[in-house]
Amino acid sequence: MKFKVIFSLFLLVAVTSVHAGLEVGYYEKKNCSQAEKIVREVVEKELGIPIVLFGYPLFDVSVGPGLVRLLFHDCFVRGCDGSVLLDKGLNNSRSEKDASKNLGLRGFEIIDEAKKRLEETCPGVVSCADILVFAARDATQIMLNAIYHEYIEFNVSSGRLDSKNSFYDQVETSLPPPEFNLKELTDLFSLRSNENLNVTDLVVLSGAHTFGVSHCSSIKNRLDSNDPTLDQNYAAQLREICRSSTHPDTNPVVNLDKQTPYELDSLYYQNVQRGTALFYSDSSLLNGTETKDLVNEYAQPVNDWAEDFVKSMKKLSELNVMFDTDPEGEIRKICRKVNNKVNGY
């Protein structure tokens, strides 16, 4: 009996001491307690103060959408491992950035700037994968606080390592196209997250389409096919913008949210209800009772979307990470390049 207790205690200690994982405040233990503060300062500087005056934004409206989408595209391809940040794959091959699904991806300079400052302060300590998570969190929190007057707590865990490769070939099957229907979306979210992201997370995270832009090429199929789930007046306006470019090579952009294009609010869900959300994938959230009920809930003037978005973003940020015990990972010195020269630098 006594032996059993001691033995189980021993097992418990053994198990917890080898247990690798993410934790809130990881860099405090790594002698870099300033890590999160430095990323925050860079994001605040780049974003500015999120004020919209008579419809005109007084801040850099690309920062929020850029960083939030960057996190999604990092985490769905292999996992949250900074692989989306690399300029090249192995042997100078194409990287994830070169894939068509990553058209318009932006925010890389913000990650570079934060990394540069962190390498000056605590060299070789903070991974690019974690920097991206911190930056997406900060942009989200700043944008949410501008809309929702109560302070929304948003701690993220850290301790991720960076990948030593970028996975160009996996982008196409890992990320959803805007033509996906509800079943395809739920299946992909479940698969990419080892069943960690459910239909609630799908509906909640789709709310990120409340700010930012899309290129016309991403809605071409929907406009050309006269998709009946798209409001016809809105379709006509979109066709006008998308045709208005005089040069055939240009690919104009349209706002994702026709109501409040620069704000991280829940009006996206009203767009979905009215057929004025931009993508077929957005409209398809109405094609199932569970997801439709959630859309209707978040379309209410008062709702819990902001709190739920924070929770789903945390889940997203923890998908398939490499812990600090994983020999496959490293802490890159420059987020665009792996440390060793195998990939052509």
Ligand X SMILES: *[C@@H]1O[C@H](CO)[C@@H](O)[C@H](O)[C@H]1NC(C)=O
Binding residues for substrate: 176
Q: Choose the one of ligand X, ligand HEM, none that binds residue 275, judging by a C-beta under 5 to 8 angstroms depending on kind.
A: none
The residue number with the shortest CB distance to ligand HEM is 212
* 306 backbone φψ class: left, alpha, beta (φ>0; ψ -120 to 50): alpha
From 23-31, 62-70, 98-106, 127-135, span contacting ligand X (CB under 6 A): 23-31
Nearer to ligand HEM, 172 or 328 (CB): 172
Q: Choose the one of ligand HEM, ligand X, none that binds residue 329, judging by a C-beta under 5 to 8 angstroms depending on kind.
A: none
Q: Choose the one of ligand X, ligand HEM, none that binds residue 340, judging by a C-beta under 5 to 8 angstroms depending on kind.
A: none
| Interaction of residue 145 with ligand X, rule CB under 6 A | no
Residue ranges in 149-208 that form contacts with ligand X under rule CB under 6 A: 153, 155, 181, 183, 198-200
Long-range CB contacts (< 8 A, 24+ apart) of 37-43?
38/114, 38/117, 38/118, 38/121, 39/114, 39/118, 39/131, 39/134, 39/135, 39/138, 40/134, 40/138, 42/110, 42/113, 42/114, 42/117, 42/135, 43/67, 43/110, 43/114, 43/135, 43/138, 43/139, 43/142
Q: Which of 157, 170, 229, 255 is close enough to bind ligand X by CB under 6 A?
A: 229
Residue list for the binding site:
74, 77, 79, 81, 83, 96, 176, 209-210, 257, 260, 265
| Interaction of residue 206 with ligand HEM, rule CB under 6 A | yes
- Which of 19, 73, 215, 247 is catalytic? The answer is 73
Residue list for the binding site for heme b:
209
Q: Which of 279, 305, 329, 332 is close enough to bind ligand HEM by CB under 6 A?
A: 279
Q: Indicate the length of the chain as a whole number.
A: 345
Q: Which of 78, 97, 160, 209 is close enough to bind ligand HEM by CB under 6 A?
A: 209
Shortest distance in whole angstroms from residue 57 CB to ligand X: 29
Q: Choose the one of ligand X, ligand HEM, none that binds residue 24, judging by a C-beta under 5 to 8 angstroms depending on kind.
A: ligand X
Q: And the tokens for 330?
A: 């490293």
> Is the Cβ–Cβ distance between 159 and 23 less than 8 Å?
yes
| Interaction of residue 103 with ligand HEM, rule CB under 6 A | yes
Q: Which of 106, 292, 314, 315 is close enough to bind ligand HEM by CB under 6 A?
A: 106
73 catalytic residue (yes or no) = yes
| Interaction of residue 276 with ligand HEM, rule CB under 6 A | no
Site string for ligand X, 62-101 (x = CB under 6 A): ----------------------------xx----------
Contacts of 165 (CB under 8 A, 6+ apart): 83, 86, 89, 90, 338, 343
Nearer to ligand HEM, 253 or 334 (CB): 253
Chain residues binding ligand HEM by CB under 6 A are: 65-66, 68-69, 72, 103-104, 106, 176-178, 180, 185, 205-206, 208-209, 212-215, 218, 256, 279, 281
Q: Which active-site residues does the annotation give?
A: 73
